[in-house]
Every structure is written in structure tokens, then in C-alpha cells.
Amino acid sequence: MTEVRIEGVGTMNEESGEDRVVGRHVYANLYDVDRETLANEELLRNSVIKAAELANMTLVEIKSWTFGGKKGGVSVIAIVEESHIALHTWVEYNYATVDIYTCGDKGDPWKAFDYLLNVLKPRKYKVGYADRSSL
Amino acid sequence: MTEVRIEGVGTMNEESGEDRVVGRHVYANLYDVDRETLANEELLRNSVIKAAELANMTLVEIKSWTFGGKKGGVSVIAIVEESHIALHTWVEYNYATVDIYTCGDKGDPWKAFDYLLNVLKPRKYKVGYADRSSL
């Protein structure tokens, strides 16, 4: 697996009970993923639920869809309190993207990311980080 | 309104019927937004629907929630075909974040972004761009 870590935007903050919103957003493009995995809605849905758990996110609702056609694939969206996980796949392009956006001191998006990476096993990926905190 | 355009990741591509997935993701932190706007779930939900329309996105489902507590606010998620719009607000912090991720030649996330900016009217914001295309 080749990792290309693209430039992050913002920095991780040490949090010591600060009175502000702390948001962390990990987003990645996953290339060269096996098609069986990308088409398996149930596997992907369950994996997003597990990823949310590992990242200490409080799940509010999970939704998933399978889209047909040449650019078809699966979308899974987990709504967690005031943030989300979004996974989209394109089966014929062996391609997927993932967004893990956690909110608050207790959430760790990297734990969810590592888990999903292990499920999807891309041969190459790019990952970025954005600070979504209030001022 | 002060704009701080944070460094984008990737570049916009000229698309001429390329056989790949073209994904464009605009994400922004909106500071100093009026509380009445941030707490108005119906307004925000309708605005996300309108933004999806303006960006030429095909809406599959729209979901919204109001969260209580000190860090409470509204979340709106629009699932569009193989991509999404996510808006989260934190009323007491006068804060919101928006993610507009379009897929394919016809979607333009900046049109949706400009529309939502005009609804939320932050006194300051940061915006980033990520290329979510396949190789």
C-alpha cells in the first residue's frame, strides 16, 4: 500500500477543556480497491458503524444506498452527533473516498480511518486533514 | 465578510469526457454567524436542497436533526448521487461548517457554496478545496 499524505490544512490541537468547538476531519481518496469489497453494501455499512465506534463517535443514524450504472457503487453516511462519516465507492473504477469528521475531545478520526483502510485495502491512497474547529 | 482562502489540495481539472471519476470537494468553516440562522432547522434544510439544485446535484435523500445542549445545533445531510452536502451548526458558538462534494462533469460545488454563504452570512470564513477524483 503506497501512502501519499497530502498537505493538511490546520493543525491538531491539544485540548484541555477549551470552550470552543473542536472538529477534526480526515478525508482520503482510496485507489485500486477490490471490486467485491466496493460493491458490498452490507460490509461497508457495518464497517462504517464499527469505525464510528472505534473513533468514539455517538451514532445517530446510518444510511446506505447502492447506485447502478457505469459510475455506480455504494454510499454510506453515518450521522454522528454534530459530525459525520461518508464513504462513497465506484466499483468499475476500483475507487472509493472516505470522510471522517469528528467533533469534540473524545473523537479520534484516525482510528476510524485506520480501520476503514484495513477493510478496503487500497493499493494506493491519498489522505488529507482539515481542522474544523471554531475560533 | 472576511475571506481566508486556505490552501487547496489538488487542482480543478478540465473535463472532456475523461473516463474517470471526477470529484470536487469544497469545505468551509463559517465563523460569527447569527444564532437565529444557526438554530433554524427548516431554513437550513431548505437551503441545502436549494444549494444542491444550483450545483446540478441529483438529490437522493435529505436528512436533518436538531441537537440540544451547550454544543447543540443543527445537522443537515443531503445525499446526492455518489456524493453529499453536509452542514453542521453550533448555535452558542455562532459557528457552522459546510462540506459540498460533487461528482461528475455537471456538478459545481462553488455555486452551492456561494448560495449557502449568502444564507448563513458569516462575518469571517475559511474555505478549502480537495480534488476527490480517481486516478
pLDDT, tens digit, 9 for 90 and up, residues B115-127: 999 999 999 999 9
pLDDT at B85 over 80: yes
Mean pLDDT of A62-81: 92
End-to-end CA distance of chain A: 36
Chain A interface includes B84 (CB < 8 A):
yes
Chain B interface includes A130 (CB < 8 A):
yes
pLDDT tens string B18-30: 689 999 999 999 9
pLDDT at A53 over 60: yes
- ipTM score of the complex? 0.85
Any idea which residues of B carry the catalytic annotation? 83, 88, 103
- 10 Å CB burial of residue B101 (0-12, 13-18, 19+) is buried
Residue length, chain A? 135
pLDDT at A16 over 90: no
Mean pLDDT of chain B: 88
In this prediction, residue B14 carries a pLDDT of 38
Would you place residue B4 in the very low, low, confident or very high pLDDT band (cuts 50, 70, 90)? low
Chain A interface includes B63 (CB < 8 A):
yes
pLDDT at B3 over 60: no
Q: Which of the two residues, A12 and B69, has the higher pLDDT score?
A: B69
Number of other CB atoms surrounding residue B18 within 10 Å: 12
Contact B130 A27 (CB under 8 A): yes
Mean pLDDT of B3-29: 65
Q: Give the dihedral of Cα atoms B124, B85, A20, A134; nearest 10 deg.
A: -30
Residue pair B82/A90 in contact by the 8 Å Cβ criterion: yes
Residues from chain A contacting residue B83 (CB–CB below 8 Å): 75, 88
